[in-house]
Structure 1
Amino acid sequence: MAPPEKVDKLFLELSSESRLDLLRELEAKELRMGELARRLRLTATEATRQLKRMTDALLIRRLPQGAYTATTYGRLVLQLSPSLEFVSRHREYFTTRDLSQLPHPFLNRIGELSQGTLHMETMETIVTGEQLMGRVKRYFWAMVPGPGSELLGPTVHEQRLRGVDFRFAVPAELLPLKALPPGAEPDFKLRGLPQIPAILAATDAEGFVSFPPIGGRWDYAGFYGKDPTFLQWTRDLFLHFWEQGKRAPTL
């Protein structure tokens, strides 16, 4: 049996930005060498060399009429590459983070956060969170490592009166929340988790996620975004853990 091909050969082919651009162009449209060279501003010699490398790697193929197109394998590689590009771009951040509590499907999809903006300052993140809560229209779902004023402040009550769906997942050890007066009706739905995998806020228009530092206290450094794929990732992660959460006992 032949030994399996090492993935480092694939990484070598994708280490060139021009080859990645070439693959993206051929995923979108069948192109001849001349048109491809013009789009990517390559010389004919360089375009020919890159096309041969990508063809040998089975990422693209030459059609009978002379144009090139991405193979199914090449298209799959492109679908997976955003996650690698995203973590590579923010490697200093991820080097210090613990993502061990994230389910594998969400790790595989982490590239969906790539359009988000990284906020490293704690106060900047807190201000962003307060503004996000004030702008919510339909729902505000969050995972937080403590009860926090965001659970009990007037903003939640005011928004709840307008029909906003508030849900909070907190560490199970904090339940029931002693800060609520006995018999008080909370303005939000509450569930407990054995461990908080990330600080997260998901709304109908914005989202935020912060991953825990390795061996340290939460610092709220994380990603804020508005694009649909970013929002879908944050919503899906929240609902995944919400379904596993323990309902808060009645006080």
Structure 2
Amino acid sequence: MTDLIDEAADYVLELASPQRLSILFKLLSKNLAPSTCAKEIDATRQEVHRNFSRLEKTGLIKKTIDGTYTLTTFGKSICTQVPSLVFLLQNRKYFENHDFGNIPHKFNMRCGQLAISEYVKGVSKVLEQWKNIYKNSSEYIYEVVSEVPLDIIEPLVKQIKKGVKFNYIFSEPTVVPKGRKALLKKLGFDKLIEKGLVERKMMTNAHTTLVLNEKEACVMFPGIDGESDITEMFYSKDPMFHEWCLDYFRYCWHGSDVFQESKLKEI
């Protein structure tokens, strides 16, 4: 085991270089000669040649018949792991006060898909982006929530009335604002459920808040105390980010139970 740990540490050292990482990611999209790569990453030929040699020696890249270099299968696999490290390093301060909650480990391992995203902080900014996801929807809106701000209800119902499908999962118990029932009744929410435009479920614990439409998504992780936090979010239109959110929603939907209004907590 000690030998394996030492070997892993050696590979981490090889990746601990902005230029070597740049080379690897360039080779993800196309084969390159060191001289061409040097121009693309704005570095000296001597530097790049030296780093190509190091990467070849460690088995991350290999030389092709035409003199260019390509990633090995091992190199490609290593590149898929780097975005997770990038995401966590970019948001190290955020994760000092937040946690992945009860998200299954398989989604934690895929957190690199969240790397291309915008960090949004502040209740007003978060709610504005939340409502924009509603506004930009044309096919569906999916949500996993444990807290429902009153401000988002009318914009949501407006989109559903246009034919946008709304599927949501409430945590047990979700915190809902006073006046929610009266507002939903006034807006004709029950009729939308009857028409099949709204489907709802409930799960025991949904610490992570998720909102997405067919082209954009946001995710809000809980605080380290396990309570939901809708004052900060990660938002993106990136396909990989969206895929992570959609897959997590589907996982939650499959594992959820029947919706029970009586379990909601009104404050």
TM-score, length-scaled by structure 1 = 0.86
Determine helix, strand or coil for the equivalent of 2:147: coil
Q: Which residue of 1 aligns with 2:205?
A: 195
Any gaps of 5 or more consecutive residues in structure 2? 193-197, 263-267
CA shift, 1:2, in A, is: 8.5
Structure 1: how far apart are the matches of 2:121 and 2:24? 33
Q: Which residue of 1 aligns with 2:122?
A: 121
Q: Name the CA shift for 1:158/1:30 in 2 (closer, same or farther; >3 Å).
A: closer
Q: Name the CA shift for 1:65/1:230 in 2 (closer, same or farther; >3 Å).
A: closer
**Total equivalences in the alignment:** 249
Q: Name the CA shift for 1:186/1:16 in 2 (closer, same or farther; >3 Å).
A: farther
Q: Name the CA shift for 1:186/1:209 in 2 (closer, same or farther; >3 Å).
A: farther
Q: Name the CA shift for 1:164/1:34 in 2 (closer, same or farther; >3 Å).
A: closer
Over the aligned positions, Cα root-mean-square deviation in angstroms equals 2.9
Q: Which residue of 2 aligns with 1:222?
A: 233
Q: Check whether the contact 2:146–2:172 (CA below 8 A) recurs between aligned residues.
A: no
* Residue 80 (str. 1) matches residue 81 (str. 2): yes
* Residue 157 (str. 1) matches residue 167 (str. 2): no
Structure 2: how far apart are the matches of 1:20 and 1:54? 10
Q: Check whether the contact 2:101–2:221 (CA below 8 A) recurs between aligned residues.
A: no
CA shift, 1:33, in A, is: 3.0
Q: Name the CA shift for 1:54/1:141 in 2 (closer, same or farther; >3 Å).
A: same
Q: Which residue of 2 aligns with 1:71?
A: 72
Q: Check whether the contact 1:147–1:170 (CA below 8 A) recurs between aligned residues.
A: no
Identity %: 25
Structure 1: how far apart are the matches of 2:49 and 2:132? 52
Q: Check whether the contact 2:131–2:155 (CA below 8 A) recurs between aligned residues.
A: no
Indicate the larger mover: 189-198 or 129-138. Answer: 129-138
Any gaps of 5 or more consecutive residues in structure 1? none
CA shift, 1:208, in A, is: 0.9
CA shift, 1:210, in A, is: 0.6
Structure 1: how far apart are the matches of 2:117 and 2:28? 24
Q: Check whether the contact 2:142–2:212 (CA below 8 A) recurs between aligned residues.
A: yes
1:238 to 241, 249, 265: 249
Structure 2: how far apart are the matches of 1:79 and 1:216? 29
Indicate the larger mover: 164-173 or 61-70. Answer: 61-70
Q: Which residue of 1 aligns with 2:219?
A: 209
CA shift, 1:123, in A, is: 1.6
Structure 2: how far apart are the matches of 1:186 and 1:211? 32
Q: Which consecutive aligned stretches of 4+ in structure 1 deviate over 4 angstroms post-superposition?
A: 177-182
TM-score, length-scaled by structure 2 = 0.81
Structure 1: how far apart are the matches of 2:91 and 2:2? 37
Q: Aligned partner of 1:74: which letter?
A: G
Q: Aligned partner of 1:160: which letter?
A: I
Q: Which residue of 2 aligns with 1:166?
A: 166
